[in-house]
């Protein structure tokens, strides 16, 4: 059941009405039943997999909490994590691993006949598997208590807004909300609907329309050269962002209709001034997952520079592999790890410096110098002392800032080429031929533009500009709240104009979200 489908347009209002019509103690049951119905609408057979992964992680966590001996806890952790990863490997990576092994053996003149498995990749398996893994690991660390009610835990794992493409929620955030006291408010419901509308705009108006241009080129790249290839890469850079962040917006907005808060998954990532910052803004739930459960346990940055570089490369290579069972994804992840290693060498981590936020007259005596980070000093005036790294401070958005943003955007776009390409050879072809004809700049640009439907391209200019303005404004404020505070005539003009643009430009040929394949 796609978010951008008629079925979901019927499903959501029914669940919403039933949820709020029932007493509080029964509402989590509505979430459980509706979530499993939502998942079974894809393929009834694969409900067995989510039940298995849920059951293994549930039992593992309960047993881990029950036993006191560290060695027993560790065995139970390995068993629960291993069982979940085995299911993920079998359905997602078996063919890739088998084919890779066959190629390696063939290079040594050893023949191995492949085992053919006609298996579909269960939708959302990477997302809910990582959610169960983080739960078990957190219970093992003693950071959360094991949930004793299996069905409430199942509702947490299968919560339908974020089930198939995230955000990958943490236990501390989502599980307590499944069965806590909820109260519907107009403000929260209205905000959720507006966020959903913005997500549908990004998906239907930008991502799905750009997908037509992108697919045309990547289905037969040998037929294109020069600026057409550049445009295809840039279009995919926007498509993947609008497609995935659009899903996240719809998921977060849908959850708010049930008075449930999901974590933010995107924060204007294409306005990043470093690749490291990009990953603090892109797919935050996944990047923070790899940080907490892979990077930091490996030593993080508390080790030698060489070991830290190794940790970064391993973490991002695994992140690439998480996205898909192909060398293109591994190269994509490795490139992001490599770019961050180079950044760390060229721009070493800056020292933490105090940043003062004061109101009224400043009274910074010796006591203030001893203040702790995030502390508040009370006297004649109130002064907050915060400790931030210099790169976390509000940077002047002048020419240098824009140049950094442009460079990082180009680097990220270049890496996306491997992500979208059908093979590494196809990606290398694009890089080799995207400058064809550049010696004649005007002809180069004209030929690239006219390789596509120019009328359709012109229709995309305003939506993309609107996206850029929205994301830039979101660096400092929440545009939805800002618009909501406008005078009624201006606010209505914005809403009606937005609705008209969606109706005129939206692509209503339902396409799956890109991240459903992961």
450 in active site: no
- Calculate mean pLDDT across residues 163-192: 91
Q: Give the residue among 402, 170, 131, 383 at the shortest CA–CA distance from 273.
A: 402
Contact 214, 413 (CB under 8 A): no
Q: Give the residue among 198, 221, 335, 227 at the shortest CA–CA distance from 278.
A: 335
pLDDT of res. 46? 86
Q: Where residue 262 falls among pLDDT bands split at 50, 70, 90?
A: very high
Q: Where residue 425 falls among pLDDT bands split at 50, 70, 90?
A: very high
- Calculate mean pLDDT across residues 199-216: 93
Instruction: Provide the percentage of residues in the chain whose pLDDT is more than 90.
Output: 67
Contact 302, 349 (CB under 8 A): no
- In this predicted model, what pLDDT tens digit does every residue of 342-355 receive, in sequence order? 999 988 776 554 44
Tell me the three-class secondary structure of 44-86, residue by residue. Answer: HHHHHHHHHHHHHHHHHHHHHHHCCCHHHHHHHHHHHHHHHHH
pLDDT of res. 395? 56
Locate the DSSP E strands across 186-236: none
pLDDT of res. 359? 40
At residue 308, does pLDDT exceed 60?
Answer: yes
How is residue 226 written in tokens?
């020069």
Q: Is the pTM of this model over 0.85?
A: yes
- Calculate mean pLDDT across residues 397-424: 93
- Calculate mean pLDDT across residues 324-339: 93
- Calculate mean pLDDT across residues 443-459: 90
How is residue 118 written in tokens?
């006609």
pLDDT of res. 1? 76
pLDDT of res. 122? 83
At residue 101, does pLDDT exceed 90?
Answer: no
- Calculate mean pLDDT across residues 460-479: 94
* Identified catalytic residue from 323, 336, 433, 450: 323
- Calculate mean pLDDT across residues 196-215: 93
Please state, in angstroms and rounded to a whole number, the distance separating the CA atoms of residues 313 and 307. 10
- Calculate mean pLDDT across residues 457-470: 94
Please state, in angstroms and rounded to a whole number, the distance separating the CA atoms of residues 397 and 476. 12
Residue 289: alpha-carbon gap to chain centroid: 11
At residue 30, does pLDDT exceed 90?
Answer: yes
pLDDT of res. 107? 77
Q: Where residue 168 falls among pLDDT bands split at 50, 70, 90?
A: very high
- In this predicted model, what pLDDT tens digit does every residue of 345-396 receive, in sequence order? 988 776 554 444 434 433 334 343 333 333 333 333 333 334 444 444 445 7
Give CA torsion, residues 222, 228, 229, 233, to 10 deg. Answer: -140
- Calculate mean pLDDT across residues 247-255: 94
- Calculate mean pLDDT across residues 6-15: 92
At residue 223, does pLDDT exceed 50?
Answer: yes
**What's the order of all strands across the beta sheet hosting 382-389?**
352-359, 382-389, 375-378
At residue 509, does pLDDT exceed 60?
Answer: yes
The kind and range of the H/E element at 357 are strand 352-359
Q: Give the residue among 2, 19, 139 at the shortest CA–CA distance from 80.
A: 139
How is residue 259 written in tokens?
């008075």
DSSP string covering 409-475, please? HHHHHHHHHHHHSSSHHHHHHHHHHTTTTTTSHHHHHHHHHTTS-HHHHHHHHHHHHHHHHHHHHTT
At residue 496, does pLDDT exceed 90?
Answer: yes
pLDDT of res. 124? 86
Please state, in angstroms and rounded to a whole number, the distance separating the CA atoms of residues 53 and 156. 13
Please state, in angstroms and rounded to a whole number, the distance separating the CA atoms of residues 70 and 279. 34
């Amino acid at each position: 059941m796609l978010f951008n489908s008629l079925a979901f347009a019927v499903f959501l209002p029914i669940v919403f009405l039933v949820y709020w019509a029932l007493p509080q103690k029964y509402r989590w049951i509505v979430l459980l039943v509706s979530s499993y119905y939502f998942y079974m609408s894809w393929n009834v057979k694969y409900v067995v997999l989510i039940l298995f992964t849920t059951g293994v992680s549930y039992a593992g966590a309960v047993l881990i909490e029950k036993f006191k001996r560290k060695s027993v806890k560790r065995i139970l952790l390995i068993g629960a994590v291993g069982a979940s990863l085995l299911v993920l490997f079998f359905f997602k990576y078996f063919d890739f691993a088998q084919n890779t092994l066959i190629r390696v053996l063939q290079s040594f003149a050893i023949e191995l006949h492949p085992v053919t498995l006609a298996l579909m990749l269960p939708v959302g398996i990477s997302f809910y598997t990582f959610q169960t893994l983080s739960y078990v690991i957190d219970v093992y660390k003693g950071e959360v208590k094991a949930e004793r009610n299996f069905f409430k835990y199942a509702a947490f794992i299968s919560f339908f807004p974020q089930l198939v493409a995230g955000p990958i929620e943490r236990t501390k955030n989502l599980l307590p909300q499944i069965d806590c006291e909820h109260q519907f408010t107009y403000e929260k419901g209205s905000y959720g609907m507006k966020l959903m509308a913005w997500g549908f705009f990004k998906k239907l108006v930008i991502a799905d329309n750009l997908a037509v241009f992108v697919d045309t080129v990547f289905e037969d790249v040998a037929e294109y050269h020069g600026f057409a290839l550049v445009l295809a890469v840039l279009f995919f850079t926007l498509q993947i962002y609008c497609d995935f962040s659009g899903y996240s917006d719809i998921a977060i907005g849908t959850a708010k209709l049930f008075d449930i808060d999901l974590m933010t998954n995107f924060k204007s990532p294409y306005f990043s001034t470093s690749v490291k910052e990009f990953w603090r803004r892109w797919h935050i739930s996944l990047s923070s997952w790899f940080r907490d459960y892979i990077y930091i346990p490996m030593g993080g940055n508390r080790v030698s520079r060489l070991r830290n570089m190794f940790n970064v490369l391993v973490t991002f290579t695994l992140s690439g592999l998480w996205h898909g069972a192909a060398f293109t994804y591994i190269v994509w992840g490795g490139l992001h790890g490599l770019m961050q290693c180079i950044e760390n060498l060229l721009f070493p981590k800056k020292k933490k410096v105090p940043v003062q936020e004061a109101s009224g007259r400043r009274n910074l005596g010796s006591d203030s110098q001893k203040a702790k980070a995030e502390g508040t000093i009370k006297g004649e005036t109130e002064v907050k002392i915060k400790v931030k790294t210099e790169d976390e401070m509000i940077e002047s958005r002048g020419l240098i800032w824009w140049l950094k943003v442009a460079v990082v955007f180009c680097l990220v776009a270049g890496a996306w080429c491997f992500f979208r390409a059908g093979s590494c050879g196809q990606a290398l072809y694009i890089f080799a031929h995207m400058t064809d004809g550049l010696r004649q700049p005007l002809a180069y640009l004209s030929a690239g533009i006219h390789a596509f439907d120019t009328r359709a391209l012109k229709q995309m200019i305003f939506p993309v500009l609107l996206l850029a303005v929205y994301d830039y404004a979101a660096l400092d404020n929440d545009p939805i709240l800002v618009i909501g505070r406008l005078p009624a005539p201006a606010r209505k003009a914005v809403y009606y104009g937005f609705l008209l643009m969606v109706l005129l430009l939206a692509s209503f040929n339902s396409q799956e979200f890109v991240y459903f394949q992961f």
